[in-house]
Amino acid sequence: MTWHLFFKYWSSQASISCNHCFQDSTTVDKFVEANDVQSLDVLKVDTEGNDPLVLIGAINTLMHLKPSYLQFENHGVGRWSTWHLKDVIDLLDNLSYECFWATNSGKLIRLSMCYSSEYDKMKTWSNVACYHRSKTAFASIMEGYVWS
């Protein structure tokens, strides 16, 4: 079985009568191990600013299962207010991921291996899309959308 994992943060606003709502939480790595996930194509992270922590908790999964596609948000909210996108891009580069900003026009702007410190000053809501370098067919598709 191939898995597609989507980690989404659900705010307590969904339960207006709840003053102290807690979600059970786990890391991607613990979830993958507990569910004996053997294959993973897509990992999409949308955790309202906690994306860097989710990615740290997915290191073993990213190293061993090598999902073809990884997507996460970047902005100035939550952990992103103190974390630098460059640190996350460098981590993913070391795990053989090629990363891009996904623009509203459908084009991709390369972040891996050509990062500018100016990017850390841009704290607007954006998505980062990455592919694993060993997935050549997927890489070929994404490279076709790179802004030139």
- Give me the residue spans of the domains in the chain: 3-10+23-143
At 1 the pLDDT is: 43
- Strand pairing partners for 110? 100
**Which tokens is 97 given?**
């991921």
pLDDT of 145 reads 95
Rounded to whole angstroms, how far apart are CA atoms 141 and 137? 7
Q: How far is CA 35 from the centre of its chain?
A: 21
Prediction pTM value:
0.82
- CB environment 41-58: b (16+ within 10 A), e (fewer): eebbbebebbbbbbbebb
- What single letter denotes the amino acid at residue 115? Y
Three-state SS annotation for 13-31: HHCCCCCCCCCCCCCHHHH
Instruction: Give mean pLDDT in consecutive 10-residue pieces for the chain, a chain of 148 residues.
Output: 47 36 74 91 89 93 96 88 90 96 92 82 83 94 92
The number of C-alpha atoms within 13 Å of 126 and in the hemisphere containing its C-beta is 22
Residue-level pLDDT at 14: 34
The pLDDT value recorded for residue 24 is 65
| Token duo for residue 107 | 């084009």
